[in-house]
């Protein structure tokens, strides 16, 4: 069974999962310069969640960064490769959507990249629609942006 709970951004498991995500994206894009804008931090993330397996081992994470009134951006959605396909991504996404609703968020936005076709398929399957690039992604050729009205 997978559980997903809010945790502090600065927990060791959170740092480990975010580092694993960065390493995977560095490999996919062939460099470490693949994130437009400033990286999320404890100072600008309103919600951070961690998914854990039956043994309470952290297997995935996700975060919300508040944008304009009524909008937030999904950040740091990640599940370790060995755990993919078991529902952790959906569980993380649903937890983030529930947290967003609790905060009065009406629209969730996100950015993924052309080097992440699996993420594109996931978000489209989960009801997110492609939108024009927003914020720091406007002039980024590899950025693909999506949104969903809650």
Cβ atoms 9, 42 nearer than 8 A? yes
pLDDT recorded at residue 58: 97
Backbone region of residue 30 per phi and psi (left: phi > 0; alpha: psi in -120 to 50; beta: other values): left
Question: For the chain, what's the residue count?
Answer: 150
Please give the CATH number for the structural domain made up of 3-149.
3.40.630.30
Cβ atoms 149, 106 nearer than 8 A? yes
Q: Which two tokens stand for residue 10?
A: 């600065």
- The residue extents of the domains of the chain are 3-149
Q: From first to last of its 150 residues, what are the pLDDT tens digits of the chain?
A: 999 999 999 999 999 999 999 999 989 888 777 778 888 899 999 999 999 999 999 999 999 999 988 999 999 999 999 999 999 999 999 999 999 999 999 999 999 998 899 999 999 999 999 999 999 999 999 999 999 999
pLDDT recorded at residue 131: 98
List helix spans (H) across 2-150: 12-29, 88-102, 117-125
pLDDT recorded at residue 54: 94
């Amino acid at each position: 069974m997978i559980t997903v709970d809010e945790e502090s951004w600065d927990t060791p498991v959170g740092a480990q999962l975010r580092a694993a995500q960065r390493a995977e994206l560095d490999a996919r894009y062939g460099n470490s310069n693949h994130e437009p804008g400033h990286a999320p931090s404890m100072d600008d993330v309103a919600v951070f969640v961690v998914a854990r397996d039956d043994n309470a081992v952290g297997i995935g994470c996700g975060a919300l960064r508040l944008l304009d009134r009524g909008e937030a951006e999904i950040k740091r959605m990640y599940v370790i490769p060995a755990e993919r396909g078991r529902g952790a991504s959906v569980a993380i996404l649903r937890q983030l959507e529930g947290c967003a609703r609790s905060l009065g968020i009406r629209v969730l936005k996100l950015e993924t990249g052309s080097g992440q076709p699996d993420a594109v398929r996931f978000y489209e399957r989960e009801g997110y629609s492609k939108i024009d690039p927003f914020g720091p992604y406007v002039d980024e050729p590899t950025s693909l942006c999506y949104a969903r009205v809650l």
